[in-house]
Homo-oligomer: A and B are copies of this chain.
Amino acid sequence: MHPKPLSDPPAVDHPKAAIDGSSLDLGDYLKDRAGLVERHLSACLDAAKAPVGRLQEAMRYSLMAGGKRLRPILALAACEAVGGEIESVLGYACALEMIHTYSLIHDDLPCMDDDDLRRGRPTNHKVFGEAIATLAGDGLLTDAFALIARSAKQAGVPAELIVDTIAELAEACGSSGMVGGQAIDLLTEGQRLSQSELELLHGMKTGALFVAAVCGGARLGGAGPAQLRALHNYGSALGLAFQVTDDLLDVVQTTDHLGKRSQKDQERGKATYPSILGVEEARLRAQQLAQQAREALTSFDSRADPLRMLAQFAVERSL
């Protein structure tokens, strides 16, 4: 790792946790950043015109239900890793969480994974009904694009960068990315997948949004092409590491710990890393991927230390 202190810290007012390789505490850092994201998310919801109370309530219910806020934190960390201003990327970071939340609401619907529990609370459709839950997802997804465009423009980010960021994010989340991955997941239930098929599926379903988080955050922060290529590699290894770990957690943890139903992958005959590789091999694969993510960052200075630590966090959380 990179233990020397920052010679040139980025200009950031909000975070309390110092970004300093020598003293960075991951727990404090994550808590601080999640707090920053949640305050901004809540302000965005309040600022929305919100003409339909029940719909806004449903959107807020799932958006403000906690969670690690990992995607927004990655966007902020990537922006800072390239020396960008956090203000340029705060709206984008919140938009990522809105999109992630929409995908959870729709995935939980009875016609999809039919889940009753998410983050320790009843799922959106259990509280608001299927129709409003579907619309809350649609609203979060759509509002996210307005937020990115408005907030990045207001922060003075060059319009060309905003257009490219929106295009890449939409591709990451659309039919050839996250939505496509969820479709494969549903269509292959009960089928035996090879490791490479599983990695393709998760590259679309989970990985693409991680890559968009990291690359979009860096682009809005002014990254150059070589930095973007490196961060693409980082994001895609990290996304997979995260997913392998998710599969492991589903096997080894109880529903109480997870805040969502555990062991459900197996019940549904879903292919998972532990089912293909075995638990020990899957653990090793997760570590390998986290290492690969860190190695993608060799050309970055200590401002990328949060990204380095996040790679470790992705595979070590609660295992």
Contact = CB atoms under 8 A, between A and B. Distances in A.
Indicate the member of A55, A112, A129, A130 with the most B CB atoms within 10 Å. Answer: A55
Nearest to A160: B159
Nearest to A49: B176
A51 B167 CA distance: 18
A176 B164 CA distance: 25
Contacts of A138: 106, 137-138, 141, 179
A139 interface: yes
A171 interface: yes
Nearest to A168: B146
Contacts of A142: 141, 170, 173-175, 177, 179
Contact of A135 (B131, B141, B163, B179): B179
Interface string A148-164: 01101100001110111
B174 A143 contact: yes
Contacts of A262: none
Give this chain's copy count.
2
* A interface residue count range (under 10 / 10 to 19 / 20 to 34 / 35 or more): 35 or more
Contacts of A153: 163-164, 167
Contact of A175 (B56, B111, B170): B56
Nearest to A113: B131
A50 B176 contact: yes
A182 B134 CA distance: 11
Interface stretch (A1-9, A183-191, A292-300): A183-191
Given A138-B179, A149-B166, 11 more contacts: A50-B176, A52-B180, A54-B187, A106-B138, A109-B134, A134-B134, A135-B183, A139-B179, A149-B163, A153-B164, A162-B163
10 contacts: A106-B134, A111-B131, A132-B187, A134-B134, A135-B186, A138-B138, A139-B179, A142-B173, A158-B159, A159-B162
